[in-house]
Amino acid sequence: MASSVLVNAGPAPAAISPTAELPVDRLGRPSRALRVSVTDRCNLRCVYCMPEDRYAWLPRAGILSFAEIDFLVERFCEIGVEKVRLTGGEPLLRRDLPDLVRLLSARRLRERSLTTNGILLADLAWPLRAAGLDRVTVSLDTLRRDRFRALTREDRLARVLTGVEAAASAGFSGLKLDTVVLRGVNDDELFDLVDFGKELGAEVRFIEYMEVGGATRWSMDQVVSRSEMLERFRRRFGEVRPLPGRGAATAERFELPGGTTFGIIASTTAPFCRACDRSRLTADGVWYPCLHARVGTDLRRRLRGGATAEELRAVLASRWRDRTDRGAEERLAGGVLTPPVLRAELAADPRLEMHTRGG
């Protein structure tokens, strides 16, 4: 399927006023959080995300400039977005990223955050903090060098750990470590990772292995479920207390005796679509209402075609009102989880890839 088929480039709906009520989607969900992928390139090749040898990259001319991203973010703020997370690909590969953060600092946002693999974080943690970045999440699947190499195909664990330490000392209001748990690969490190996080003042969140675009090696056998993880913690620590106040957050949080906390993101076995207020913008300006959405809205075409701020805001509001997506819940309700998106389709439309639409 050609990529253009998957992009909704229909006519702009009637303009709405900036003072109009903030839109909610068809399931009553507001639009509060936006993940902005700033590049589809990455300096790792994690087995659960980019296992293939070759990828089709987004053409460089299509990549949004910082000014374009900022302009679009301002429009997203007008439909209710309060939180922006920069992601990728590996977002720190995007040159001068602090400049973008500085632009976003002037926007009416409650939070600017970043998800990174940490390789380039040691040099960038302080400049990003100084530019106004509030929170950082570092993906860290293992504390063992040989495993890191096997999982990512790069021998760079030491570099990541230096990056995590720099982030811990740079004064972000929240540092998190995200771990994708794979059975037989790193599922014996749950307690070690929680201890490591505790020492740094970072909360660890365990992510169930998801069957998303790009995860062409996914199988249910490798998923360690939320309930299995909790059972392991219970066996080891006796009590695991669920913490209240999840709201629309992806992670459920738990507390161990002694006060250590950790999170679980159970996107595969206990998805949370009913509260989902997140959408995603690719580095080339296509907006997806769900991680699993097949059709996106081409905002770059409109932006570069001269659409006014009001026209763009109207497109966002109208599309959000039409949103019915519950991608992960629908997969689960189907009884059997479907096989990963076919490689051929991924090759034809790189925007289906997790590393392109931003995790």
**Would you tell me which residues interact with ligand SAM (CB under 6 A)?**
42, 48-49, 87-88, 90, 115-117, 139, 178, 180, 207, 209-210, 212, 215, 354-355, 359
Contact of residue 292 among ligand SF4, ligand SAM, none (CB under 5-8 Å per partner type) = ligand SF4
Count the helices and strands in the chain (H runs, E runs): 12, 13
Question: Which span sits near ligand SF4 by CB under 6 A: 30-38, 194-202, 304-312, 323-331?
Answer: 323-331
Give the range of 67-75, 84-92, 162-170, 238-246 binding ligand SF4 by CB under 6 A: 84-92
Per-residue b/e over 87-105, b at no fewer than 16 CB within 10 Å? bbbbbbbbeebbebbbbbe
Q: How far apart are CA 82 and CA 279, in angstroms?
A: 12
Which of 72, 290, 299, 346 forms a contact with ligand SF4 (CB under 6 A)?
290
Q: Provide the minimum distance between the beta carbon of 185 and ligand SF4 in the complex, in angstroms, as a whole number.
A: 14
278 binds, among ligand SAM, ligand SF4, none (CB under 5 to 8 A by kind): ligand SF4
Among 31, 37, 113, 117, binds ligand SF4 (CB under 6 A): 117
Q: Compute and round to an integer the Cα radius of gyration of the chain.
A: 20
3-state secondary structure of 333: helix
Judged on CB neighbours under 10 Å (0-12, 13-18, 19+), 10 is: exposed
Binding-site partner at residue 212 among ligand SAM, ligand SF4, none, CB < 5 to 8 Å by type: ligand SAM
Q: Is 358 one of the binding residues for ligand SF4 (CB under 6 A)?
A: no
> Cα(32)–Cα(155) distance, rounded to whole angstroms?
37
Q: What proportions of the chain, in percent to the nearest 5, are helix, strand and coil?
A: 35, 15, 45
Distance CA 164, CA 74 (A): 30
> Using CB under 6 A, which of the segments 56-64, 258-266, 303-311, 322-330 binds ligand SF4?
322-330
* 213 alpha carbon, distance to own chain's centre: 13
Chosen residue from 6, 36, 49, 346 binding ligand SF4 by CB under 6 A: 49
Say how far apart CA 72 and CA 36 lie, in whole Å. 10
AA letter at 350: P
> Torsion over CA of 286, 70, 100 and 288, rounded to 10 degrees?
-20
Q: Does 46 bind ligand SF4 (CB under 6 A)?
A: yes
Query: Exactly one of 276, 281, 341, 352 binds ligand SF4 (CB under 6 A); which one?
Result: 276
121 or 240, CB closer to ligand SF4?
121
Enumerate residues 194-213 that contact ligand SF4 by CB under 6 A. Answer: none
By a kind-dependent CB cut-off of 5 to 8 A, residue 273 interacts, out of ligand SAM, ligand SF4, none, with ligand SF4
- Please give the Cα distance from 313 to 194 (Å, whole number): 42
Question: Smallest distance, Å, CB 250 to ligand SF4?
Answer: 7
Residues within the interface to ligand SF4 (CB under 6 A): 42, 44-46, 49-50, 88-90, 117, 139, 271-273, 276, 278, 290-292, 325-328, 355
